[in-house]
Amino acid sequence: MYGSFALIAIAIHCLFLWHGWLFAANDMQFHLHEINELRQNISHGSLNPLIATFAFNNNGNAVISLYPKWPLYLYAFAQMLFKDSIRGIFIADMIKTFLGLVIAFYSVKSIKKDDLSAYLFALLYMTSNMVLAYDYQTMDIGVMWSLIWIPLVFAGFYQWLKTGKWVGLAIGLSGILLSHILTFVIVLFSLVVLTLFNYKVLFSLKRWQSLFKGAVLAGLLSSLTCVPLIYFTLITPVRYWTPSVPYGLTGTAFKNIFQFFTINNASMYLGLGSLLGIVVSLVNFKRMSKFQIDLFVLGLLLILLQSQLIPWKKLADTPLSIIQFPWRLLIIPLVCFSYLLVVNSIAMIRRLDFHYSPVGIAVIGTVLFVGSALLRSEQFIKSQINTQEINYRVVAQRGVPMDQNGQQIYKVTNEAEYQNLLGYSISWDYYPVKTCNGTTLPRIMQHQGFNLANGETIPMSYRPKPDGIYFEFNLTGKRSNIELPFVAYDHRYQVRLNGKNVSWQISPSGVIQLNHLTSGSYRVDVQYHNSGLKVGMVVPFIIGVITLLVIFVKPTWLPSGLLNNGKFRH
């Protein structure tokens, strides 16, 4: 099984690997900067950076702590191992797809005990329109990796609902939390709805006990993401700018929810498989189990919630605006209807009075699903192959090419173009609100200091290091207070001026400010120290991993009953 999944993962991405080019995706530059930040830190011996100094314009943005970075390590290591930045991306995608196939297979097998259903679901899900679209049309790596854990979450929830077992649910939720926070919120909402469908479980003390154990384990395993997120959003006094949607918050028209044309199948909407899942479920509705009916209703509910039936534009100024794109909710119907299509189709085939070969069905499914994925990949590549190369230096005055709708359109064909893409980032995400004032942020993105005495900008040379940076600049004129092009989130920065520790303050613009400087040449060494935060991230995670090992090994010294509901499989 593992061998076939490995071959399928290679086949799905082989066309991109063969071309060896990256095509513009909405979030690609953002994630390439993240990957580069980790790669440079690893090269300098730092495995857990807290702020960005090698990427994102080298100004200390805490994006590397506020956005889950853990899936990105695979991409950084792949690039370093194969010494090819572009192909390293595709190889990491292959590994992601392989893991997704394995997780999807064993998730379904844990509740259906049927290899054929599990195999076909894994194929249908991981070759779906939406999964491929997130891989290449948006390259939203956080969502890409969160998608591979959703089947395990639903399988784990089923186990908890029926038997009180909780480890599968905990592992799945942890995987999502380590990948993408918003996906976790969407999945959690779905689990709440499913729980309400089965409200009687709320009156079971044993279910609450097992749920508590699962929540503790999930919290421990996801501490690598949750602890820095809590620190930078709740403990520090910093408030953050919320990205807006260029065309406003709007629901999806029903005519656009399902995309069938080949060229459009690489989209964030549902495809033919999901529509067939609805149809087959309606045909087989009377024979479906209670949990299958719950999934069917949940899928339809999420489709309605992300549609234009909901006044999303009126919700633009509410906390719900964080979703940015209501079609994000479609990740849940994708899982539900993919699963229902497979299990109902297999059930209907088995009721027919003729002999069939499970191996034959598996082979046909493999050819159909993988062939469809390859066809969509080929169509996507053809649609992007003639886009322009970025044969100029990307700077603040001239960023990456965009079309009239604000979509990035370009291709990256070699290492030089790849590195050029890392030279300047247009992202305003995760900066303090007071830094996004229209003058400070553009200035620090270009490594310019600011003389508060005369209002002049100060060009600065710089040399990044893990969680820190060196600046060199010259100053003329009278005594001045200077803003460095480096964000400050708290007071845990050590600042050395010409080799001596100096006092500093956070300026009204949210950057490091040095006071009472006179004319001369200066060398500034900025280093962020927060060992307590790193310990708070790593120690709970290690405890969580040890807990998992104890659950699966089940040593004799373990107190009876402590983890008796931990076993995931029957």
Closest CA to 484 of 516, 455, 506, 453: 506
The pLDDT value recorded for residue 560 is 57
* Residue 277: inside a domain: no
Does residue 9 sit in the same domain as residue 126?
A: yes
Does residue 190 sit in the same domain as residue 127?
A: no
Could you tell me how many residues make up the chain? 570
| Chain position carrying tokens 């040449």 | 521
Beta carbons within 8 Å of 259's beta carbon, 6+ residues apart:
129, 265, 267, 269, 270, 271
Consecutive 10-residue averages of pLDDT for the chain (570 residues)? 91 92 88 95 96 94 93 96 95 97 96 92 93 89 95 96 93 96 95 95 91 95 96 91 65 75 54 89 93 96 91 82 86 95 91 80 91 89 88 82 78 92 85 89 93 92 97 89 95 96 95 94 97 96 94 69 51
Cβ atoms of residues 513 and 503 within 8 Å: no
Closest CA to 433 of 181, 233, 192: 233
Cβ atoms of residues 327 and 302 within 8 Å: no
Phi, psi at 524, each rounded to 5°: -110, 135
* Residue 368: inside a domain: no
- Token readout for 143 is 């969502």
Does residue 500 sit in the same domain as residue 539?
A: no
Does residue 93 sit in the same domain as residue 70?
A: yes
Does residue 17 sit in the same domain as residue 120?
A: yes
* DSSP sequence for 34-95: HHHHHHHHHHTT-SS-SSBSSSGGGS-BTHHHHS--TTHHHHHHHHHHHT-HHHHHHHHHHH
Total domains present in the chain:
3
Cβ atoms of residues 432 and 63 within 8 Å: no
Q: What is the C-alpha separation between 396 and 97, in angstroms, rounded?
A: 36
The pLDDT value recorded for residue 247 is 56
Cβ atoms of residues 147 and 331 within 8 Å: yes
Residue 548 sits at the vertex; the CA angle it makes with 544 and 549, to the nearest 5 degrees, is 120
* Residue 313: inside a domain: no
Question: For residue 525, what is the domain's CATH number?
Answer: 2.60.40
The pLDDT value recorded for residue 491 is 95
Does residue 100 sit in the same domain as residue 20?
A: yes
Phi, psi at 496, each rounded to 5°: -115, 130
* Residue 276: inside a domain: no
The pLDDT value recorded for residue 264 is 37
- What are the helix (H) ranges across 390-491? 415-421, 440-445
* Residue 548: inside a domain: yes
Range of the domain at 537: 154-240+530-570
Does residue 47 sit in the same domain as residue 162?
A: no
Closest CA to 37 of 64, 8, 9, 4: 64
Does residue 534 sit in the same domain as residue 417?
A: no
Does residue 134 sit in the same domain as residue 189?
A: no
Q: Which residues of 28-42 are buried (b: 16+ CB within 10 A; e: fewer)?
A: bbbbbbbbbbbbbbb
Report how far apart the first and last C-alpha atoms of the chain are (Å, whole number): 21
Phi, psi at 200, each rounded to 5°: -60, -25
The pLDDT value recorded for residue 137 is 85
Does residue 484 sit in the same domain as residue 534?
A: no
Closest CA to 413 of 392, 444, 390, 433: 390
Q: What is the C-alpha separation between 10 and 95, in angstroms, rounded?
A: 9
- Token readout for 100 is 């997704």
The pLDDT value recorded for residue 246 is 54
The pLDDT value recorded for residue 266 is 41
- Token readout for 433 is 């609100």
